[in-house]
Amino acid sequence: MLQAPEVFVEVIVPLAVPRAYTYVVPEQLSEYVDIGSRVVVPFGRQKVVTGVISGFTGNVDEDQMFKPLIDVLDDIPHLNEYQLKLFHWMSEYYMCTIGEVFNNALPSGLKLSNESHIQLNPGFVESGSILTDKEHLLISALHHNDSLSFKEVEKILQIKSYVRVIKSLIDKGAVLIFDALKDKYTPKKVKYIRIHPGILEKGKLEETLNNLEHKEKQLNWMLAYLQVVPVFEEVSINAQGVAKTALQRPELSESSLKTLIKNNIFESFEKIVSRFDDLEEGMDTPPELTPEQSVAKDKILSYFEKNQPVLLHGVTGSGKTEIYINLIHDVIESGGQVLYLLPEIALTTQIVQRLRKSFGDKMGVYHSKYNDNERVEVWRGILSGKFSVIVGVRSAIFLPFDNLDLIIVDEEHENTYKQFDPAPRYQARDVALYLSKLHHASILLGTATPSVESYYLAQSGKMGLVKILGRYGKAHMPEIHLVDISRSRRERTMKGDLSPVLHQRIAESIQRKEQVIIFQNRRGYANYLTCLDCGWIPKCDQCAVSLTYHMYSNQIKCHYCGFKEHNPTKCPECNSSRIKTIGIGTEKVEEDLQLFFGEANIMRMDLDTTRSKGIYQKIIDGIDQGEIDILVGTQMVTKGLDFKNVTLVGVLDADRMMFYPDFRSFERTFQLITQVSGRAGRSEKKGEVVIQTADPGQRIFQWIIHNQYEDFYKSEISERQAFRYPPFFRLIKLTIKHKQKKPAQQGAMHLYQLMVETIGHSLLTEPHEPVIGKIRNYYLMEILVRLPRDKVDLKRLKKFLQECAFEIQQHKTFRQLLIQFDVDPY
C-alpha cells in the first residue's frame, strides 16, 4: 500500500520572529488543515503556541526534521486571505515581524493560554518521606486527580503561600509541574428550566398540577412556566424551555424551584447563547438628508465610481453622521459589509446609540472595553454573516471581512489612530486606505479639521474632496471669545484658573439650565509637587519625568510607566512640610468649579474616571438627560460628541498645546480647539466658546475664531515644505534603548555612523535624546530618517536600516541594545 505524501504548512506564530515556520501535518489532521486555520504548534524547546496557517509548501529540505502540528483548532478558518495579505503588508511597511502583527491582530480569546498544573511524580515513594500537613493534603488530592491547576491547589490548601508548598514538593521529588493548554474563550451560558420529559411522556402533567394544588409556591412556578411555554397547546415546545431569569418574580422562590427539580418535575439545563442576543432585529429607514447633505452624498458617490478615496470636510455639527448612515444603509441593502472606524471609545458610545437605531442586530461593536469573550463573538459574528456593520477603534481593521464594500474613517485627523507601542506601530487611517485597495472597497475620511496630509492629497487630486460649509438644521457656528489671562492675572481678577469672563459665562449658562464643557488637556490634580524650602520635586525612578499629583487617590503617579506612591506630607530632602502643587489638571479644575458653582452637578471625563466598562454610557446619558451641568475633561471631550443643550465651551489653557516640541503642535492645537468649540450650540440655542490664553496675538486663534481652515493649511503646508516634513518627506524614527545610559548613547552613535557611510548625512538627524530621555528604566536615544517622497526606493532603504540595526546588535557591547522602528511616527 502506497504511503500518502507528507503535507507541509507554513505557520505564523504570535511572537517577534521574522518569518513563518514550516511544520509537517500528521496524517490524522490532514483533512482539517486549511489556510487561515488556527493551529497548536510546538515552538522552541518547551513552548506551545497558537499559530495560523498562512500557506502550504512542497519546497522543503528532505534531510531536515520538521516538527508536527499538535492540533487544528478550527472547523472553519478564523482568518482569510485578505487578513494574511494585510499582515504581510503591515510587517513590511511598518518594519516589524509578521508575528508581531498577528499577535496584535488576534484577540487574546482566540489564543490558547498556558496554565501551570502539577501531577504526582510516578517515581515518588511516599512512605518514609517527611511531609508537612499541607503537603500531605496536596498529595492526597493528587491521588484522586490526574493533575491540579495552581488555582485548584490554592482552593484546596486555602492559603496564599500555596506556591511554597508546591516548590517544596518539587524539591522533594514528589510532584512534577507542566503547562496545560487552555482555551481562553468562554462561551456565555444561561440557566434554563423546563418540565421534566418523564412527566410529559407519561401524560402526567394534569396529575402533577393536581398534586401541587396545596403546595402554592411550587404551583406558582408551574403556572408561571406554562404561561410562557404553552405546553398544553404544543408539547414539543417544552424542549426549548425558558431562561430562569425570565421568571424572576417576587412570588417565585429559589427553594421551591430546587424542590421541583429534586422531585423530577422540572429539570435544569444550560444553553450557550450569544452575548449580543438582546439586539433589536432589522433596519430602520435612514434619516432624510438636507439639500446640502444630498449634494455632498452624490459627490461622494461620484468619486466612489472612479475608485477614488474621498475626504469629507464638513464643519462641526454639519451632519456628517447622517450621510454616513445613508451610505451604510445602501451598502447593507446590496449585501456588502461596512467598517466604521472611530478614534476613541468615548466617541463610539454615542455613535453606537445612533447607529443601533438604524441597523439593529446587523451592527457589531469592537473595542478594548469589550472583554475577550465579547471580542471573540464579534469576530465570529463577522465570519458567520451575523454582522454587516462593524463600529470600532483602530484594532477593528484586523477583523475577518470577506465582502467589505465601504470603510468610513471618522475624525480622520485624530492622533489616536496611531499605535505607538507595541509593534506594529501603525496608523489605522493609512492601513484603512490599503485595506480599501485590498478589498476594492470605497473609503471615506470625514472630519471638520483635516490632517495636513489628507488635505494635501485632496488638493493634489489623489483624493476626492467634498465640503459641507453650514451646520445641520437651524444650528449656527458658536461665537468665540479670546480672553487674555495674563492681564487678568496682573489685575488679580482670576477666580482659581477661571477668567472673569469664563466664570460669568458659566454662571449664566447654569442659570439658563444649559450645559457647559470645560477642556483642560492634562489629567490629575497638579502637574507636579515642589518643596518651597529646598526646591525638591518628586520624580519617577524609572522615567525621566516628575510625578503627577492625583487628589482623588492621594497619590503621585507616573503617566509613562504607572509607578505610584502615597502623596508625601514632608519633603524627604529637608523635612519641610511646605509642599506646594504646581500646575492644574482636570481634578483641580473640578475642585475649583465645585467651589464656585456648588449647586451644579459636575462630572469629570478623563482616563482616571473612565477605566471601568459602562462609565462612558453613564456620562453620556447624564448629559443627554440633563443630570450633568458641567463636564470637565481632557481631549476625550473634544471628539465628535453631540449634546443639544451644551451652549458653552471653555478652553482653560490654549498655550500649553502650542509650544510642545513637535512639528505637529500647531496643527493639533488648531484641531483640538476647533473640535471642542464645535461641541457648543449644536441645536437652535446660541453657542459660545471662551478661549483662555496668555498670548492672544497668535495668528492661530484668528483662524479658529473665523473658521479659516484654508488659511491655516496654506501657512502650515509652506512650513512643512521648507523644513522637510510630511507630506513632502516620509519620516522613520529609530529609537535606541538600553538599561544603561552610556551604551544607549554609544550604540546610537555607532548606528548613525554605519548608516551615514551609505546614505549620507542629509537624510539623517544626529542621535539625540528625546524630550523624555528615560522610560521604564530604559535610556532612550533617537535618530530621525527623512526621505523625499517618491524619490527614494523605500523598500530597499527600509531593508538597509534593518540590516544596520542587526549588525550593531551583533557587537558584543550592544547585544542588550533594543532598536525600534517607527514609520510615520507622529
CATH of the domain at 117: 1.10.10.10
Q: Is 763 helix (H, G, I), strand (E, B) or coil?
A: coil
For range 792-818, the mean pLDDT: 92
pLDDT value, residue 749: 97
Task: List, for residues 400-425, the tens digit of each pLDDT value.
Answer: 999 999 999 999 999 999 999 899 99
Q: Examine residue 199 and state whether it is found in any structural domain, yes or no.
A: no
For the chain, the maximum distance between any two Cα atoms, rounded to a whole number of angstroms, is 100
Whether 189 maps to a domain, the answer reads: no
Per-residue pLDDT tens digits for 180-217: 666 666 777 889 999 998 888 767 888 888 888 889 89
Q: Indicate whether 512 belongs to any domain.
A: yes
Do 21 and 100 reside in the same domain of the chain?
A: yes
- Is the Cβ–Cβ distance between 371 and 405 less than 8 Å? no
pLDDT for 279 beyond 60: no
Name the domain count of the chain: 5
Using a pLDDT cut of 90, give the percent of the chain over it.
57
Q: What CATH code is carried by the domain that includes residue 672?
A: 3.40.50.300
Phi, then psi, of 407 in degrees rounded to 5: -120, 130
Considering 112, 143, 162, which residue would you say is the last residue of a domain?
112
CB 748 within 8 A of CB 781: yes
Which residue in the block uniquely carries the three cell numbers 417544552?
238
What would the mean pLDDT of 89-110 be, rounded to a whole number? 94
Q: Label residue 427 left, alpha or beta by phi (over 0 means left) and psi (-120 to 50 means alpha).
A: beta
Average pLDDT of the segment spanning 587-604? 93
Binning pLDDT at 50, 70 and 90, where does residue 744 land? very high
Q: Which pTM does this prediction carry?
A: 0.83
Q: What is the mean pLDDT of residues 222-240?
A: 88
pLDDT (mean) for 587-594: 93
Q: What is the pLDDT of residue 2?
A: 44
Residue 280 pLDDT: 58
Assigned domain for 534 exists = no
Q: How far apart are CA 728 and CA 726, in angstroms?
A: 5
> pLDDT tens for residues 151-190?
888 889 988 777 778 888 887 888 877 666 666 667 778 8
**Mean pLDDT over all residues of the chain?**
89
Query: Are 96 and 119 part of one and the same domain?
Result: no
**pLDDT, mean of residues 241-258:** 89
Q: What does the DSSP 8-state code read for residue 6? A: P
pLDDT of residue 372: 81
What pLDDT, on the 0 to 100 scale, is given for residue 184?
Answer: 67
Query: Residues 86-97: what's their mean pLDDT?
Result: 97
In this structure, are 758 and 642 located in the same domain? no
Phi-psi group of 461: left, alpha or beta (phi > 0 → left; psi -120 to 50 → alpha; rest → beta): left
Alpha-carbon torsion 608, 613, 614, 617, what sign? positive
Q: Domain range spanning residue 164?
A: 113-183
Inform me whether the pLDDT recorded for 798 exceeds 90.
yes
CB 265 within 8 A of CB 222: yes
Gap between the terminal Cα atoms of the chain? 63
Tell me, yes or no, whether 210 lies in a domain: no
Q: Residue 673 is placed in which grid cell?
A: 480647539
CATH code of the domain covering residue 104: 3.40.1440.60
Between CA 353 and CA 557 the distance in angstroms is 35
If asked whether residues 519 and 625 sit together in one domain, one would say: yes
Model confidence at 360: pLDDT above 90: no
CB-count burial class (<10 Å; 0-12, 13-18, 19+) for 506: buried
* pLDDT over threshold 60, residue 364: yes
| pLDDT tens digits, 386-395 | 999 999 999 9
- Evaluate if residue 570 carries a pLDDT over 70: yes
Give domain status of residue 393, yes or no: yes
Q: Name the DSSP letter for residue 532.
A: T
Q: Which residue has the higher pLDDT, 503 or 65?
A: 503
Query: Do 179 and 105 belong to one domain?
Result: no
145 has pLDDT over 80: yes
Cβ atoms of 129 and 174 within 8 Å: the answer is yes
The pLDDT value given to residue 162: 79
Please confirm whether the linkage preceding 422 is cis (ω < 30° from 0): yes
| pLDDT tens per residue across span 474-502 | 677 889 999 999 999 898 999 989 999 99
Quote the CA–CA distance of 481 and 502 in Å, as a whole number.
9
Last residue of a domain, one of 132, 166, 183: 183
pLDDT, residue 685, reads: 84
- Residue 556, burial from CB neighbour count under 10 angstroms (0-12, 13-18, 19+): buried
Are residue 683 and residue 802 in the same domain, yes or no?
Answer: no
Mean pLDDT of 113-124: 75
Output the pLDDT for position 114: 63
| Residue 280 maps to a domain | no
Residues 712 and 797 in one domain: no
Segment 435-440 mean pLDDT = 98
Closest to 359 measured CA to CA, from 380, 328, 334, 384:
328
- Asked if residue 603 is part of any domain, the answer here is yes
What stretch of H or E contains 812?
Answer: none
> Which residue(s) pair with 448 in the sheet?
none
Which residues have a Cβ under 8 Å from the Cβ of 613 and sit 6 or more positions away?
Answer: 369, 371
Give the residue among 728, 703, 724 at the shortest CA–CA distance from 715: 703
Of 183, 198, 215, the position where a domain reaches its end is 183
The number of angstroms, rounded, from the C-alpha of 702 to the middle of its chain's C-alpha atoms is 35
Partners of 24 in the beta sheet? 8, 68
Q: What is the spatial distance between Cα 249 and Cα 298, in angstroms, rounded to a whole number? A: 54
For residue 521, which phi and psi values (nearest 5 degrees)?
-85, 50
174 and 322 together in one domain: no
**C-alpha distance from residue 690 to each of 271, 623, 680, 712 (Å):** 56, 20, 11, 20
Spatial separation of the C-alpha atoms in residues 443 and 307, rounded to whole Å: 9
Residues in the chain, overall count: 826
Distance CA 44, CA 61 (A): 20
pLDDT average, residue stretch 687-713: 93
Do residues 437 and 362 share a domain?
yes
* Run of H or E residues at 268: strand 266-273
For residue 718, give Cα distances in angstroms to 103, 333, 633, 673.
Answer: 40, 45, 33, 22
Q: What sections of 630-740 are H helices per DSSP?
A: 655-658, 665-677, 699-705, 709-722
What pLDDT score does 1 carry? 39
Tell me, yes or no, whether 660 and 768 share the same domain. Answer: no
Q: Say if residues 184 and 112 touch (Cβ distance below 8 Å).
A: yes
Q: Are residues 328 and 446 in contact, defined by beta-carbon separation less than 8 angstroms?
A: no
Q: Hey, which bits of 196-354 come out as E strands?
A: 242-243, 266-273, 310-314, 337-341
Banded model confidence at residue 518, pLDDT cuts 50, 70, 90: very high
- What count of Cα atoms within 13 Å lies in the side-chain half-sphere of residue 503? 17
Helical H segments across 212-319, by residue range: 216-228, 254-262, 291-305
Do residues 339 and 398 lie in contact, with contact meaning Cβ atoms separated by under 8 Å?
Answer: no
Are 22 and 34 within one domain? yes
Same domain, 83 and 48: yes
